[in-house]
Structure 1
Amino acid sequence: MATRNHRAVAAPQPANRGAAVLAGRQKAAAAAGRPDRRALGDIGNFTNIHVIDGKKVQLPEGVNRPITRSFGAQLLKNAQANAAVANKNAVAPALPAVARAAPKPTKKAPAKPVPRPEQAIKITAGSDENRRPSEGAARSSSAHKSRKKVVSTLTTVLIARSKHASGLTGKPKELIEDIDKLDGDNQLAVIDYVEDIYKFYKAAQHESRPTDYMGSQPELSTKMRAILTNWIIDVHSKLELMPETLYLIMYMVDRYLSLQTVARRELQLVGIAALLIACKYEEIWAPEVSEFIHLSDNAYTRQEILGMEKAILNKLEWNLTVPTPYVFLVRFAKAAGSGDKELEHMVFFFAELALMAYSMVTFCPSMVAAAAVYAARCTLRKSPLWTETLKHHTGFDELQLIECANILIRSHAAAPDGKLTTIYKKYTTEEFGRAALHPPAAVPGLV
């Protein structure tokens, strides 16, 4: 019993007993000649940082006494005072020199309580305290300007009137018209991917194009080609074939003549075989070979026509799916004025004149179609001659079309007195709006 009571009332061990034991062990290790290693302290037991009232306070060196409530309060007060002095010394150098040198006010201001370290003011990027003086001045000046009343002086009024009279007023930029907005219910218009189709056409039109072949055709001339074209257009009209058939025929003729030398006697045979192939490709009911024999006044036999048909297909490698001017004419005429029949007839009149002119063979189909639209608008005196909508869909501006349009307008002026009048007579009828009867255009820049 005595022993148990003695253990129960044993005096508490000193707070730094563990530190003393650890120091004694280090001295013994040094005396024994072992390498001097830094001992790891007991984690959490022998550090100088203590938590007092929820705040971490670092004890001064040499303090070994227990942390009582009164001693902890005194340590916390000293730590707060030291933090306040440190903050004051850190802010003082940032103050302007004039502010530090300013005399103290005569009236003593009431002392402000020293803020605790955890109550430091947080300054955000958008607060007025953190904004630079230049920003505040700029905002105040802009606000002042906005409140300033605008006074119209005599000079400003005269300048505005002069600009309005000379047409220099700021005009809104011309918008690109949505030419497919009325075809939402028309599945054949394929408005969802019509733009992608024409992007493909514009890229594919440069492949397998006819070249300037007259220099390599010793027995042919541009006049003979014009006679053949005039005859093909007449046959196309009598048989009431589709418009796209005509443009495919002329493509095959020019492409074959670019690749193969042809005798004068066989030139019409090339045209007849091209007619037969295009009708098989485009028409629902293609004419028979006997009809073409009759149209050529029995100049060629059945075997000759079928033999030339095979020769053309082999030379063209059976590639007939090409973008002709017709596919671009449909789209560009729609962009020029959907529903304008007079303009549409005039566009196709110039497009067929382009088939007659050998000088138009080397131009790409999209440029031929765009030039036909431009020449038609010039003839009908449309204003403006070229719009942003047409520029967007054709990809050409006015300067790029001048040369082609010049050829077409000259052809229109010479059509009434020419010997090859099939196109002119066709477009003087009521069916085609008497487009050929319009006086030729006189556009500045077209000489």
Structure 2
Amino acid sequence: MEALCNLLQLWLNPRSIINSLFKFPTINYYSSEYKTNLNQNETREGKIQLCNYLTSHSSITPRVRASLVNLMVEVHQKLRLSPETLYLTVSIFDRFLSKETVPMEEAKLVGMCAMHIASNYGVFDPLLELQELTVIWMLTYTIRDVLRMKNRILKRLELSLNVPTPHTYLFRYINIERTDHETECMIYFFSELALMQHSLIKMCPSLIAASCVHAARCRLKKYPLWTEALQGGTKYSEPQLLECTGILVEAHSQAPKSILNAVYEKYSLDKFKKVALHAPVSSTSRTAEPTRLLV
């Protein structure tokens, strides 16, 4: 009976076949070795090369990109995929478009294929059928067209999917200070708002993650807003975060009236402590002195 149950489990979850054949090493996410490898990976695979990629696309504007990321958030929530999958989907989408120019009508196909690749990469996600995903994304492409685009993306990225995203760093940063559930929800609210902002593509994932923590502490009045522990754990001082935090604060202020409101509506739910409904932090106008956030 036990053997039969094991076979049934393998049939229901093909990923377990891979896990049974290969023993993967246990990763200590707090070890100095892991942190060193993560920093080196961010330097090597960082998003600095994506800085101005939208300027090479005549049809894919920041607005088009924002609408596609908004759709990614909606589909991700509907399918209840793991948090890592959302961030990796956006990363794959941006990295591919930084290397290749596609017409606007294919951008949605790229987004869907990026999500399918990301969900297959994550071990905690259900296996998604391409046909099902095509219907959810309301695409009219054939499965052959979808597979051709998937192969094109994987080939262009040279199968390099293990790249840092803001979520990679949030996993560590949230635990530097004692964080209650409301603060954690607020941090993730800002991190998903960050995915929508094309101006943040140029910034390192670790900086974005640290700025999300800073913005959340500003909004919830967690004093001091930036502690020595946070500075030591993130390697960022508060002045280094102000530009990114200002963009996040502005995104929060615009969210209630934006039609691209998937993130705002998601974090207005009870399960996320309705953190999106908090009044946004206001910021002073830029002067010669560093911008300060007013709580």
TM-score (structure 1 length as normaliser) = 0.56
Q: C-alpha deviations, 1:418-443, integer Å up to 9, x for none?
A: 11111000000011111101111235
Quote the residue 1:282 is aligned against. 122
More helix by percentage: 2
Indicate yes or no: 2:78 matched with 1:241: no
- Which of these residues, 321, 326, 329, is aligned with residue 167 of structure 2? 326
Quote the residue 1:379 is aligned against. 219
Q: How far apart are 1:296 and its partner, in Å?
A: 2.3
CA distance in 2, matches of 1:337, 1:213: 38
Quote the residue 2:12 is aligned against. none
CA distance in 1, matches of 2:220, 2:260: 24
Aligned pairs for 1:221-370 (under 5 A) are 221-284=61-124, 285-338=126-179, 340-370=180-210
Which amino acid in 1 is paired with 2:71? W
Quote the residue 2:252 is aligned against. 412
Q: C-alpha deviations, 1:291-347, integer Å up to 9, x for none?
A: 112112242211111111000000000011111111101111111324x11110000
- Which of these residues, 192, 196, 218, is aligned with residue 33 of structure 2? 196
CA distance in 2, matches of 1:236, 1:301: 22
Quote the residue 1:138 is aligned against. none
Q: How far apart are 1:274 and its partner, in Å?
A: 0.3
Q: How far apart are 1:195 and its partner, in Å?
A: 2.9
Distance 1:194 1:226, change over 3 A: same
Assess if the C-alpha contact under 8 Å between 1:209 and 1:255 holds in 2: no
Larger radius of gyration: 1
Which amino acid in 2 is paired with 1:350? F
CA distance in 2, matches of 1:277, 1:289: 10
Q: How far apart are 1:208 and its partner, in Å?
A: 2.9
Which amino acid in 2 is paired with 1:304? D
Aligned pairs for 1:204-219 (under 5 A) are 204-210=41-47, 211=50, 212-219=52-59
Q: C-alpha deviations, 1:62-97, integer Å up to 9, x for none?
A: xxxxxxxxxxxxxxxxxxxxxxxxxxxxxxxxxxxx
Which amino acid in 2 is paired with 1:281? Y
CA distance in 1, matches of 2:43, 2:146: 29
| Structure 2 unmatched runs, 5+ | 1-25, 285-290
Q: C-alpha deviations, 1:204-255, integer Å up to 9, x for none?
A: 1122334120111122100000000000110000000000000100000000
Q: C-alpha deviations, 1:386-412, integer Å up to 9, x for none?
A: 001000110000100000000000000
CA distance in 1, matches of 2:174, 2:229: 11
Which amino acid in 1 is paired with 2:76? H
| Structure 1 unmatched runs, 5+ | 1-187
Assess if the C-alpha contact under 8 Å between 1:337 and 1:343 holds in 2: no
Q: How many positions carry a matched residue from both structures?
A: 259
CA distance in 2, matches of 1:303, 1:416: 40
Which amino acid in 2 is paired with 1:351? S
Q: Secondary structure at the match of 1:279?
A: helix
Distance 1:208 1:189, change over 3 A: closer
Aligned pairs for 1:87-236 (under 5 A) are 190=28, 194-210=31-47, 211=50, 212-236=52-76
Q: Secondary structure at the match of 2:224?
A: coil
Q: Secondary structure at the match of 1:381?
A: coil
Which amino acid in 1 is paired with 2:28? V
Q: Secondary structure at the match of 1:254?
A: helix
Q: Secondary structure at the match of 2:175?
A: helix
CA distance in 2, matches of 1:222, 1:245: 22
CA distance in 1, matches of 2:114, 2:123: 13
CA distance in 1, matches of 2:193, 2:96: 21
Q: Secondary structure at the match of 1:334?
A: coil
Indicate yes or no: 2:233 matched with 1:396: no
CA distance in 2, matches of 1:316, 1:255: 8
CA distance in 2, matches of 1:399, 1:380: 19
* Displacement over 6 Å in runs of 4+: none
Which amino acid in 1 is paired with 2:102? V
Which amino acid in 2 is paired with 1:190? N
Q: Secondary structure at the match of 1:326?
A: helix
Instruction: Give the aligned CA root-mean-square deviation in angstroms.
Output: 1.7
Q: C-alpha deviations, 1:247-279, integer Å up to 9, x for none?
A: 100000000010000101100000011011001
Which deviates the most, 324-333 or 350-359? 324-333
Q: C-alpha deviations, 1:79-138, integer Å up to 9, x for none?
A: xxxxxxxxxxxxxxxxxxxxxxxxxxxxxxxxxxxxxxxxxxxxxxxxxxxxxxxxxxxx
- Which of these residues, 239, 263, 272, is aligned with residue 432 of structure 1? 272
CA distance in 1, matches of 2:252, 2:120: 32
Assess if the C-alpha contact under 8 Å between 2:28 and 2:34 holds in 1: no
Assess if the C-alpha contact under 8 Å between 1:346 and 1:376 holds in 2: yes
